[in-house]
Amino acid sequence: MVPTIDVAALFGPAGAARAAADRAIAAAAADIGFLTICGLPAHALPGPEARATLLGIFTLEEAALRALWRRKFAPGNPNVYRGFFPLQPGNVTAKEGIDLGADLAYGPGVVSADDPLREPTPMPPEAALPGWRAAAARCYLGLERVSRALMQSVARSQRLEEHHFDGAFHHGLSTLRLLHYPARRLAELERADPAVWVEHQGERRFLTGAAHTDSGFLTLLAQDGVPGLQARSREGTWLDVPALEGALAVNFGQVLERWSGGRIRATEHRVIGSPRERFSIPFFYEARADAEIRPLPGDDPESFEPFLYGDYLWERITAFVEFRGMERQRPARRTIAALR
């Protein structure tokens, strides 16, 4: 089963309680690579009221949403990486959503005109969704704080100074994503990719989120109470990740798996569909575009070729359906060896 870990001690001083939390997180990261965390500061995660405000973006009229669409979907729009992606019928994954960058919380100082990974985030006008921008900024900062505490725990478990990773993530590329999985109709499923159908616990079920591993470091997920998220165990079985109020699901990405010498596991996960629509709020904790990722102190310095995170991220995300076709929008800053 996916463990639930109380991480309240991560936000306090060093001591036995924090060391115990570090051990529990390290054990989960090495085993299934998935966990649910509770004991979070009240301001560090979006509660029901904040979630309702944030998810109000999906109630906007289509014309208002189109103004936020990525250039892939609206060629006249300037934004390439940030912004809204509409539902794309026929795929295994059936979702719509918006990707929000660090400028949401830190302003134009983190924007760079020569890198789509650091472009301004298109946002709805304040008059259209009063309070939305402020709520989104609070959510971004709260989840960033939780992510930083978890990475400091990871550093301690890897026998590194606890702030070892902090610099790589300062004003990084972290993304707050708001997601809506509409209820799928049988007629649409019959026209979709046949891989949409799976067998789970002896029943034929359909997917609404295709199986994948995350490409980066650390992902937090606030769920809406509708079940469906599953993680693949080492034995190959699919385990339900509980959707608990006041808690966050946590999983780790491919870069952190490589960075840790395989001591932390990037786990495949998927979303099983149901007759109900589903909303979720993931936060992808990402390093700066110019952060160089190289083997950790104490590991084999030749275990992988150092690379710039921005180059790797662009190579990876353009394989996902919502970014497919955008490969040439950003040239690599340095030739890198792909992670395999």
pLDDT digits (tens, 9 = 90+) for 178-234: 999 999 888 888 888 899 999 988 889 999 999 999 999 999 999 998 999 999 999
- This prediction has a pTM of 0.94
Contacts of 43 (CB under 8 A, 6+ apart): 138, 142
Number of Cβ within a 10 Å radius of residue 198: 17
77, pLDDT greater than 90: yes
Instruction: Report d(CA 254, CA 260) in Å as an integer.
Output: 10
What confidence tens digit (pLDDT) does each residue in 40-49 have? Answer: 998 888 988 9
Q: What's the Cα-to-Cα distance from 28 to each of 8, 25, 53, rounded to whole Å?
A: 17, 5, 33
Specify the range with the lowest mean pLDDT, choosing from 79-93, 111-125, 136-150, 317-331.
317-331
Amino acid (1-letter code) at residue 179: L
Task: Identify the pLDDT of residue 332.
Answer: 83
pLDDT, average across residues 304-327:
86
Ordered DSSP codes for 229-253:
EEEE-TTS-EEE----TT-EEEEE-
Instruction: Report the C-alpha gap between 187 and 181 in whole angstroms.
Output: 16
pLDDT at 318: 85
The answer to whether 6 and 21 have CB atoms below 8 angstroms apart is yes
Give the pLDDT score at 55.
Answer: 96
Say what the pLDDT of residue 110 is. Answer: 96
Name the strand (E) or helix (H) holding 187: helix 186-191
What average pLDDT does range 300-321 have in this prediction? 90
The torsion region of residue 15 among left (phi > 0), alpha (psi -120 to 50) and beta comes to left
